[in-house]
Amino acid sequence: MFRTIAALVIGLLIGGGAIALVKGGDDDSGEKSSATNPLGVAKVVDLSHTVDEQIPLWPGDPPMKFTTVANFKDDGYYLRKFSIGEHSATHMNAPNSFHANGVGIDHYKASDLIRKAVMIDVKDKAAADPDYAFSVDDLKAWEAENGEVPVGSVVLLNTGWTQYWRNPKKFFGLDGKGGLHFPGFDGETTKYLLDQRDIAGVGIDTHGVDPGQDETYATNTQMLAKPRIVLENLTNLDQMPATGADIVIAPLKLKDGSGSPATVTGLIP
């Protein structure tokens, strides 16, 4: 039953109806609504950044640009066009971004994009070391307290990097020599999660699931070879519980897209 309802949620998100998920509406911070909730969830959390022209951009990526093409004075209505890189803002990566024969973002089915989620808080470790890589030992320590990561879930890593969203130098950890310094998943941990936990995907609040210093993109390449789900530039992960929540992912269905900006919503029972 929940999968049927969640499929409707995807349609609402893509159609711009996300604010109607809960009658009366939760605000973007994920405040709990006291109104009747047709989905039977206690809280809806917006895990996506607002898209504007000031979003931090991966070095060399095209700028995000809005252009007004119609206005009320001259046309009687308001309309804009926009241009944005496929891997900008909160987004989902597609297999063809790292594998020449991989499929595009349009090949994911709606049923692929509704998943159980676990949230692993590594803010303290990331604050101590901007090059922090989430290790197998860290995973096992988390599982000792929370239980094994469920099969088919998306593992969300909360590094605390959202606080730097409006400070590109800090967000990317630019060192002035072309190097990037931000936390992510260690490639060996990703292999373990795929082989031993059969996860559906990974997500993070930095601009890459791979640490800034990992030029092999080990997590992206492994996840997208399957192919699985890769989410980057998430926000509000501190409002997600360690276990028990679901996420709904709504990328634009771009033909052969290497990825797409996405609305990602957390549903907390």
Q: Are 24 and 16 in contact (CB under 8 A)?
A: no
* Length of the chain in terms of residues written: 269
Residue 55's CB is within 10 A of a number of other CB atoms, namely: 21
Average pLDDT, the chain: 90
pLDDT in tens, 62-115: 999 999 999 999 999 999 999 999 999 999 999 999 999 999 999 999 999 999
Q: How far is CA 261 from CA 22, 88, 141, 204, 252, in A?
A: 23, 6, 33, 14, 7
Q: What is the pLDDT of residue 178?
A: 84
CA nearest neighbour of 138 among 153, 130, 149: 149
**How far is 141 from 44, CA to CA, in rounded Å?**
28
Helix (H) or strand (E) holding 2: helix 2-14
pLDDT surpasses 80 at 16: no
| pLDDT score for 35 | 55
pLDDT at 21 over 80: no
Mean pLDDT of 32-58: 85
Q: What pLDDT was estimated at residue 39?
A: 76
Sketch out the chain's domains with CATH numbers: 2-58+86-268 (3.50.30.50)
In the chain, what is the straight-line distance between the N-terminal and C-terminal CA atoms, in Å?
Answer: 15
pLDDT at 4 over 50: no
Residues 6+ apart with CB under 8 A from 111: 3, 7
Percent of the chain with pLDDT over 70: 86
| Residue at token pair 């024969």 | 101
Measuring CA to CA, how many Å separate 190 from each of 68, 75, 83, 243, 249?
43, 52, 32, 19, 20
Mean pLDDT of the 250-269 span: 98
Q: How many CA atoms lie within 13 A of 109 on its CB side?
A: 3
14 pLDDT exceeds 80?
no
Helices 187-197 and 218-225, interaxial angle, to 10°? Answer: 20
Per-residue pLDDT, 177: 85
pLDDT score of 202? 99
Q: Token pair for residue 160?
A: 């605390």
Q: How far is CA 213 from CA 26, 153, 183, in A?
A: 38, 26, 9
Closest CA to 115 of 239, 204, 210, 2: 2
Which tokens go with 143? 């599982």
